[in-house]
Amino acid sequence: MSALLFKGAGFTYPGAPSPALRDCVLHADAGSITWLTGALGAGTSTALLLAAGLAPRHTGGERTGTVLTLGVDPALPSSGAALGGRVALVLPSPATQLSGIAETVFQEVAFAPANLGWPRARITARVSDALTALAISHLANREPGTLSGGEMQRAVIASMLVLEPDLWLLDEPTSALDTAGRALVHALLRREAVRGAAVVVASEDTDGLHQVADRLVVFADGCPVLDGPPQEVLRGERVWEAGAASTAIAGLARAAGNAAPRPLTVDEGVARWAR
């Protein structure tokens, strides 16, 4: 069973003239990093909201077709009991995801486990592990609202990691992170996949993710149009036709008039162009 399954899924935001997602067929499997990308408005963020059940529950609007998240329709009122604590959603603006009532980063990360009624010793151990994994142990006693953008992004990811979710849904999770932070989150996503979680990440960070993700799904106009190993998809022309981006080196090769398959990395670029 796929951890995430869309069959003919569609979604229209309230009042929008056209659907944000249409007839979308998509799956994401446990143990694997599935990377979604596409031009602005292609539908990757909407797909994550649909998978998390926030669309249409919080956004309003109309969903069509089938969405199964860990085997459950996340739009059903009863899905909370089945999915609570098992699905981690990381949104692009971390400030919107702080609880607003925790006095310290430690409490913020402990918030969900405490709500789920975990024993104290387990909470303490897991929170410490999560803070260490995101390299923010030194911020444990800081007030969450005083964190920088990148620190907040790490804290939000830690607050999800602590639950050991079965499904990760991440929208631009490294947008505010420095180089070290991006590498750390990419390594963390790999560890989570190895642990058995399904990881779905929507990102425009092609140069960061092309050697991390197992599978790349390119969206255009509200549905997936390309699906395959990043190393194959990104060498081709169709990713550009879809309005998405390949790596900087592939973009350079394209600008220079080189036909596909194109180089993706600096080493490959040097091999092609060095005299």
> Which residues contribute to the site for another protein (CB under 8 A)?
13, 15-16, 38-41, 45, 92-93, 95, 139, 146-151, 153-154, 172, 175-182, 204, 207, 243-245, 247-249, 251-253, 255-258, 261-263, 265-266, 268-275
Handedness of CA 36, 39, 43, 49 (dihedral sign): positive
d(CA 2, CA 243): 28
> Between 30 and 140, whose beta carbon lies closer to another protein?
140
* Min dist. Cβ of residue 275 to another protein (A): 7
* Min dist. Cβ of residue 49 to another protein (A): 11
* Min dist. Cβ of residue 83 to another protein (A): 24
What is the three-class DSSP state of 60?
coil
> Between 204 and 221, whose beta carbon lies closer to another protein?
204
CA distances from 79 to 159, 210, 235, 251, 262 (A): 21, 33, 40, 43, 45
Residue 51: which residues within 8 A CB-CB, separation 6 or more?
A: 4, 6, 67, 69, 74, 87, 167, 169, 200
Taking the CB of residue 219, how many other CB atoms lie within 10 A of it? Answer: 27
Look-up of token digits 């960070």:
205
* Min dist. Cβ of residue 147 to another protein (A): 7
What is the three-class DSSP state of 90?
strand
* Min dist. Cβ of residue 84 to another protein (A): 26
> Between 68 and 226, whose beta carbon lies closer to another protein?
226
* Min dist. Cβ of residue 48 to another protein (A): 12
Q: How far is CA 25 from the centre of its chain?
A: 18
* Min dist. Cβ of residue 209 to another protein (A): 14
> Between 140 and 248, whose beta carbon lies closer to another protein?
248
Both tokens of 264, joined, read 């993706």
Contact 204, 41 (CB under 8 A): no
> Between 123 and 133, whose beta carbon lies closer to another protein?
133
Residue 82: which residues within 8 A CB-CB, separation 6 or more?
A: 70, 72
Q: How far is CA 179 from the centre of its chain?
A: 18
> Between 207 and 214, whose beta carbon lies closer to another protein?
207
> Between 82 and 240, whose beta carbon lies closer to another protein?
240
Both tokens of 191, joined, read 């560890």
> Between 3 and 36, whose beta carbon lies closer to another protein?
36
* Min dist. Cβ of residue 79 to another protein (A): 25
